[in-house]
Amino acid sequence: MNGTIDGFSYGLVTPVAAYVMACVGSALGLRCVVRTVHHEPGWRLGWLALGASALGCGIWTMHFIAMTGFSVAETPITYDVPLTVLSLAVAIVVVSAGVFIVGHRGATRVALTVGGAITGLGVATMHYLGMFAMQLNGELSYNAFTVSLSVIVALVAATAALWAAVSVQGFLRTLGASLVMGLAVTGMHYTGMAAVSVHLHNSIESAPTISGQEGSSLLLPMLLGPIIFLILAAAVVMFDPVLILGDSDGRDKPAKGRSKVVARGNTMPVRVTGIQDSPAPVVHSVPQADHWPSAAPQRSADDERAQYRETGAGDPYGARYEAE
């Protein structure tokens, strides 16, 4: 007998809350990568680690907030604690791998392909590992086509997020990219949940022993840690002076232009802010030696004295007054 599955036990509360957490994690992750790529590097390793951890925690938090709304009418659901914690570790590690690849290599085709594949497969692994941690009086089965579709969505979402992390600048653009990323990650989760069906055991005797903790008693306390981390990460990002003062869609970064100055026949490259290289260089003309004006003839000291001396100065005393 198949169980009656309800993925929205609390109505729209869980999907909306899950989407918000996915957007928060995506926004923090993107802003941290923007900090390392488009501004002064600073502590590059630390910013990439903070961004990867925020993105991984956001995805994991989204997943398990959505899972609190998942129920099967005919059986209670518990969760295996080690597997649940392992799913969080997987989310952070695989997202870190993708972020570090793209953060160091840039938005090249190879880096985006490899980083997006690792991150997308890791997000899908985190999702189905969290599903495997569920224990109930029955067995879970999956529709292969829907599972494949959810993995494709995860790959596309991860690649798009990594591309946005190194290509999008400015607060508003990063916010828009995080909203799209949150929608893609949440869509991947509910696509994967649509692939699930539960086959209940016919009798209590044939059912395996259900251990672990119930969803509310396990998931809610576990969610506090990642949520507190996201709040602290948000404080670090919001109060970073480089992001606050340099948030002008890339206009804060000096353009790498060069002009060429011609002096006495020699071409010397000179870096000038805001001027790009062009086939027609900026030329500052300096007069050549053959065009310089001839120097004025030097005048002797006697000529200078003769020009400014008084009339009759130097003449005999009598001759001077005879002239007058």
DSSP secondary structure letters along 274-309: T----SS--------GGGSPPPPPP--HHHHHHHHS
Q: Indicate the Cα dihedral angle 302, 305, 310, 314, nearest 10°.
A: -40
* pLDDT per residue as tens digits for the range 104-156: 777 788 888 898 899 888 889 899 998 888 888 888 899 999 999 999 998 99
Res 259 pLDDT > 90: no
pLDDT tier at 240, thresholds 50, 70, 90: confident
* pLDDT per residue as tens digits for the range 143-172: 999 999 999 998 998 888 888 877 777 777
Q: What pLDDT score does 305 carry?
A: 55
Specify whether the CB–CB gap between 252 and 245 falls below 8 A: yes
Res 257 pLDDT > 50: no
Q: Which of 22, 114, 111, 99 is nearest to 59 (CA)?
A: 22
* pLDDT per residue as tens digits for the range 26-39: 888 888 877 776 55
Of residues 313 and 255, the one with the higher pLDDT is 313
Chain centre distance of CA 260: 36
Res 20 pLDDT > 60: yes
Q: What pLDDT score does 313 carry?
A: 52
Res 84 pLDDT > 70: yes
